[in-house]
Copies of this chain bind each other. A is one copy, B any other.
């Protein structure tokens, strides 16, 4: 195992400890939905969004605790979107990462409520950052910290909502019903459905660490590139990957008559676009003083993954 892989594994473990510390206790009359919430969050995954958030925070010199509730909140939002996406009325998926999906285990009504509860609990959790910011300098209201928590909440809500991730899911559902999807529409879907939460993760890391408005804007651009490249690579792998590598049937996009970056622009152009986007993302990171080597390697590993 390479140094990077070992480091990744340790970081994922640390992040899962942080997330677990914010999950609700499974008790009371509402126990079954809390179990469904925790089952969904603890289903594993790359923990990519909280990792990008934390690494960006460190890059900008952040050393506090107020990042932690935001890391957990981000993973809760990502998870709720998967729980609702898997519902029979949506994608109707019975398995995710080799485990039964939430509605299969807990029933559809509880899965709807668990998704709602996770989204709500994400905000409930992120708001705890105010208390942490106050504890930091208990003798006075730490105005700068409070303002950056408020700004982070704003970014979280915006990027997760109808003008962010949910907007992308909406457009995706419409697109499935159409015969023809334009490149503009496809980029809209990728930008919102996938890139928006990655943008929010890296922006919140920067904001909480005290980055300037201009720096936050640059990080947003970097994250957009990462998100879009990640998604185009997904389209590429559906054509070039093997079923064994991906753990899911290949060519499923073509079979489902789904229009992707590859069907619209061709394989070569798609690869070039991934290259261009990732190059630009890394260049933005290099402009920031501080050690961005892990973050750069992380971005490369995401974009040039083979599974």
Seen from chain A, the residues whose Cβ lies within 8 Å of a Cβ on chain B are 24, 28-30, 32-34, 37, 80, 84, 87-90, 108-110, 112-113, 115-117, 119-121, 123-124, 127, 130, 141, 143, 146-147, 149-150, 153-154, 157-158, 160-163, 166-171, 173-174, 185, 188-189, 192
Contact = CB atoms under 8 A, between A and B. Distances in A.
A166 B30 contact: yes
A153 B146 CA distance: 13
A110 B170 contact: yes
A22 to B, nearest CB: 13
Nearest to A130: B150
Contacts of A119: 116, 119-120
B113 A170 contact: yes
A210 to B, nearest CB: 15
A87 B115 CA distance: 14
A57 B113 CA distance: 31
Given A84-B112, A141-B143, A173-B109, A117 B33 contact: no
29 contacts: A24-B163, A29-B188, A30-B162, A30-B163, A30-B170, A30-B192, A32-B174, A33-B167, A84-B113, A84-B116, A87-B112, A89-B109, A90-B109, A110-B173, A112-B112, A113-B169, A113-B170, A113-B173, A116-B116, A116-B166, A117-B161, A117-B162, A120-B160, A120-B166, A124-B154, A124-B161, A143-B146, A146-B146, A146-B150
A243 B141 CA distance: 56
Nearest to A171: B29
Contacts of A127: 150, 153-154, 157
Contact of A157 (B84, B113, B120, B169): B120
A120 to B, nearest CB: 4
Contacts of A109: 89-90, 173
A109 B168 CA distance: 14
Given A30-B167, A109-B173, A112-B112, 5 more contacts: A29-B188, A87-B112, A89-B109, A113-B166, A130-B154
A80 B157 CA distance: 16
B112 A89 contact: yes
A66 to B, nearest CB: 13
A37 B146 contact: no
A149 B30 CA distance: 28
A162 B37 contact: yes
Nearest to A124: B157
